[in-house]
Amino acid sequence: MIDHIDGKRLVVCIDNQGNEASLELWKIYQSLPDEEAENHNEIRVIDEEGEDYLYPAECFSPVFLESSVAKTFIMRNPPIGRQMA
């Protein structure tokens, strides 16, 4: 099982309090590596608007998928505003 593909991680939102317009509870999101954010207990997530923002890390839990499933998920679910042409 893996938790990232090409630097992108999959996470599930477990707490969207205060961010209801940007995050759906129990939805799987792509997150991007951001060492500085992680040092501050934050995570960079591509949200409902297709933009990457910092959120508290405790609002998410990692998702572990087989490599082929994770690749397919990422390819078939590009963030809004970042869809492939």
Pick from 6-10, 12-16, 31-35, 56-60: least confident = 6-10
- Its domain, for residue 42, covers 4-76
- To the question of pTM greater than 0.85 for the whole model, the response is no
**Residue 82 domain-assigned (yes or no):** no
Domain count, the chain: 1
- Which has the closest alpha carbon to 5: 59, 51, 54, 73? 73
E-assigned strand segments in the chain: 4-5, 8-13, 28-32, 42-46, 52-56, 60-62
Asked, for residue 85, whether it belongs to a domain, the answer is no
Q: What CATH number is given to the structural domain containing 36?
A: 2.30.30
Asked if the model's pLDDT at residue 82 lies above 90, the reply is no
pLDDT tens across 12-34, in order? 999 999 999 999 999 999 999 99
